[in-house]
Amino acid sequence: MKALVTGGGGFLGSAIIRQLVARGDEVRSLSRSKHAALDELGVKQICGDLSNPQDVVAAVENCDIVFHVAAKAGFWGPYSSYHRINVVGTENVLAACKKRGVARLVYTSSPSVVFTGRDHENLDESAPYATRFLAHYPHTKAQAEQLVLSANGPELATVALRPHLMWGPGDNHVLPRLIDRARAGKLRIVGKAKNIVDCLYVDNAADAHLSAADRLRPGSPIAGKAYFLAQGEPVLLWDFINRLLACADIPPVTKRTHAKVAYAAGSVLEFAYRLLHLPGEPQMTRFLARQLSSSHWFNLDAARRDLNYQPRVSVEEGLRRVRASLQARRS
């Protein structure tokens, strides 16, 4: 098939592209800049902005399917920047698909669209969207997911996938932040360190995207639905963080801070950054404090049933690959 991957140079986008190319699909990527790794794969790269409708229409030309992976992630920044990419960008992708007759759209969402700040244990897709958000990322992703699912119909079939806490070699978001903060002595265990979370190795997430694409068509059982994705083996968050750090030969985090203290610190720092227009991002935010101290793991029955989802890379194998990747970078 002829596929467009938005954000093809990113962590998940590039993993999806590698799998599409490996099985012989014709692939193109839409991103703000070119990536040498995609050139090596023979992928056609289109430089453009999701917030520009003309760029998106040109990118989807003659495609059978769109994997809409690109998003503005993170815990900090003005609402307008998140809304422009995550909401307006998604509106443009949907409009372009309809204008150019693209029949299938696989959207990468996030479990944070239902995150209330409290423990979520064995949560399934019946959970409602959150009504109060502690960060602009989950707020705008929730808006975008609802746009995608409501657009499902006889001409355009849509499905939303919610991968949780992705990691693996090439991670340019979670792992680098952990390593940098740990090496600077700024990483603290938040709460009692007994919270259980789901995580997801990036290639397993890519597998699920391709599986969804192959099953998606107007009127199919998965059309118009959202699915949680995870490793299927929940872990103690801080134990897992320390195992990731060990891959970089960094000692485990042992210093602690109370969850309420972290949340209060996040509130103060957010206020100060807004008031003083400080550059960068706060060391702690309310959203991050709740994510680091609460349990959030998911019921994967729907993904197993409808997508035949079975993670092929275990946590142990994934950690081995991360260590090998980090060692290769240092050599």
What are the residue boundaries of the structural domains of the chain, listed by start? 2-171+199-231+296-313
pLDDT band at 330 (very low <50, low <70, confident <90, very high): confident
In this prediction, residues 82-107 reach a mean pLDDT of 97
In this prediction, residues 163-192 reach a mean pLDDT of 92
pLDDT at site 75? 87
In this prediction, residues 259-273 reach a mean pLDDT of 96
- Residues involved in catalysis: 137
> Does the pTM of the predicted model rise above 0.75?
yes
Percent pLDDT > 90 in the chain is 93
d(CA 138, CA 258): 24
Is residue 75 classed as helix, strand or coil in its secondary structure?
A: coil
Tell the CATH superfamily of the 2-171+199-231+296-313 domain.
Answer: NAD(P)-binding Rossmann-like Domain (3.40.50.720)
Phi, psi of 296, rounded to the nearest 5 degrees: -150, 105
Residue 115's nearest CA partner among 105, 101, 104, 129 is 129
Please write the tens of the pLDDT for every residue from 37-74: 999 999 999 999 999 999 999 999 999 999 999 999 99
Give the CA dihedral 40, 46, 51, 53, nearest 10 degrees: -150
